[in-house]
Amino acid sequence: MTDSNLDYKKAYLRERAARDELERLLEQKTRHLYEVNQALEEKVAILERQKSLLLKTEKMATLGTIAAGVAHEVNNPLAYISSNLESLMDFNKTIRDLLVLANELIDSDLCDESIKQRLNAMQTTIPFSMMADEIEDIGGDVLEGVRRIAGIVSNLLNFSRPKENKLKDIKLDEVVNRMIKLAASQLRSIRLETAIDEVPPIYCNPDTFGQAVLNLLLNAKDACESELHRKSEIKVSLSKEKEWLRFSVEDNGIGMTDETITRIFEPFFTTKMVGKGTGLGMSIVYSFVEEHHGRIEVDSVFGVGSKISLFLPVTGDSN
């Protein structure tokens, strides 16, 4: 082998050794990166599970808040169903006597005078004409009461039932109206003004959006209850503004200080009394809006009131 060949071979072997070394280093880094990535994926999965748990916790807390109101809401129709049924029971004896008389008439030779006497005796307490009118009203009222209770229970079940945490095309106006109904008992003492436009469907998670709406409504109600010097008012609106859907809840409650405004989206931050709030409501609203590539505007003046607006893109392309 000539000197130049030898030099060439040495250079080649050195270059090959360099390639080997570099490939080894690259493999080490790649393996490390892979393992870090695996660990990261596991952490993301844990976070996802925790987030889902937090959502559930907040949902249970909201359920607790509205349960008392729902009980009251159910009590009203129950009261008039009960009262109507009592009236019906008052008619009971007369109706039974009428049926007996009718039965006797079929196969007897009672004279007209005797029939008249018996019929008049039956309506000494409640005239037949009144009974005829009331029976119709009673039936209608009872039916209406039962329907109202069924509606309340259905709304409550719809909210509390575990949902598939999936995105789908939904009409926000329908969800907003449903949530307003669900919170109606809580907002009873408040003047509620709504301007809910029919808006095009967007691709989002209806369950989380519903929870966000309810959180904003209940926060507004709590803010109003903290301000005792004026008649409480809440304005709820939904409209389409160019490429955005804007959902706003405005109240004339106690309002927020600057410090509170900077912290409202922090998980577990709450200005409510111990046991009244989980401190998760607004962070759930925030994460919902983030996930759907939207934004939140907070306008609040302490002592005057607050307006929280959620902007969601009409395209709804949250993928």
Partner 1 sequence: MKGIIFRALEELVVTNYGMDQWERLLEQSNLADRYFLGPKSYPDEELIALVTVISSTLNKPQPELIRDFGQYLFGFLSRSHKDLVDQFDRFDTLIEGIDGIIHKEVEKLYAEPNLPSILVQRISNNELHITYDSPRKLCFCAEGLIHGAASYFGTDIHLVHETCTHQGAEHCTFRVTLTS
Q: State the CB neighbour count (10 A cutoff) for residue 227.
A: 16
Q: How far is the CB of 61 from partner 1 (least distance, A)?
A: 44
Q: Do 200 and 47 meet the contact criterion of CB atoms below 8 Å apart?
A: no
Q: Decide: is 8 part of the binding site for partner 1 (CB under 8 A).
A: yes
Kindly determine how many residues on this chain lie close enough to bind partner 1 according to the rule CB under 8 A. Answer: 13
Q: Which of 17, 18, 20, 297 binds partner 1 (CB under 8 A)?
A: 20
Q: Which of 7, 21, 30, 262 binds partner 1 (CB under 8 A)?
A: 30
Q: Decide: is 90 part of the binding site for partner 1 (CB under 8 A).
A: no
- d(CA 34, CA 191) in angstroms, rounded, equals 58
Q: Which of 26, 71, 150, 301 binds partner 1 (CB under 8 A)?
A: 26
- d(CA 114, CA 173) in angstroms, rounded, equals 65
Q: Do 90 and 126 meet the contact criterion of CB atoms below 8 Å apart?
A: yes
Q: Which of 17, 21, 34, 127 binds partner 1 (CB under 8 A)?
A: 34
Q: Which is nearer to partner 1, 42 or 290 (CB)?
A: 42
CA 176 from chain centre, in angstroms, equals 8
What tokens does 253 get?
Answer: 């409650």
Q: Which of 31, 72, 116, 295 binds partner 1 (CB under 8 A)?
A: 31
- d(CA 61, CA 65) in angstroms, rounded, equals 6
Q: Which is nearer to partner 1, 40 or 85 (CB)?
A: 40
- d(CA 214, CA 160) in angstroms, rounded, equals 12
Q: Decide: is 9 part of the binding site for partner 1 (CB under 8 A).
A: yes
Q: Decide: is 27 part of the binding site for partner 1 (CB under 8 A).
A: yes
What tokens does 306 get?
Answer: 């607050």
Question: Which of 230, 236, 270, 274 is CA-nearest to residue 254?
Answer: 230
Q: How far is the CB of 25 from partner 1 (least distance, A)?
A: 11
Q: Which is nearer to partner 1, 1 or 111 (CB)?
A: 1
Q: How far is the CB of 34 from partner 1 (least distance, A)?
A: 4
Question: Which of 259, 179, 186, 196 is CA-nearest to residue 224?
Answer: 186
Q: Decide: is 12 part of the binding site for partner 1 (CB under 8 A).
A: yes
Which chain residues interact with partner 1 by CB under 8 A?
Answer: 8-9, 12, 16, 19-20, 23-24, 26-27, 30-31, 34
